[in-house]
Amino acid sequence: MAIEEPTTKPRTLFDVNHELHDLMLRIETASDIVLDVAQPLHDREATHYIITRLSFCCEIIDEACAKVRQLGDEAQSIGREAGLA
């Protein structure tokens, strides 16, 4: 599940903040999935399912973290251009 890149420029701090909020919601959803599937189970099929779901959640979180770093850099750049930093 790839994170979509914005198609228009220039962006504002509001745009960056909105995208950060969306990423936080995705991370929360992934975290909820982790909590749901992390219950102790002794079934081999269930264990495979849990590992698959956790792997998927880790991918979402990794992508979101990379995007947050990128958005932070973009926000700093926008702030500098606006004379805020």
Residue 39's domain spans which residues? 13-81
Q: Which of 69, 76, 71, 81 is nearest to 16 (CA)?
A: 71
> Does the global pTM surpass 0.85?
no
* pLDDT exceeds cutoff 80 at 3: no
Is residue 5 included in any domain, yes or no? no
Number of domains in the chain: 1
Is residue 3 included in any domain, yes or no? no
Q: Average pLDDT of 50-75?
A: 83
The model's pLDDT over 7-55, given as tens digits with 9 standing for 90+, comes to 566 678 788 888 888 888 888 887 777 777 766 556 677 778 777 878 8
84 against 24, higher pLDDT: 24
The model's pLDDT over 71-82, given as tens digits with 9 standing for 90+, comes to 888 888 888 888
- The whole-angstrom separation of Cα 43 and Cα 31 is 22
Q: Average pLDDT of 49-64?
A: 82
Is residue 2 included in any domain, yes or no? no
Is residue 40 included in any domain, yes or no? yes
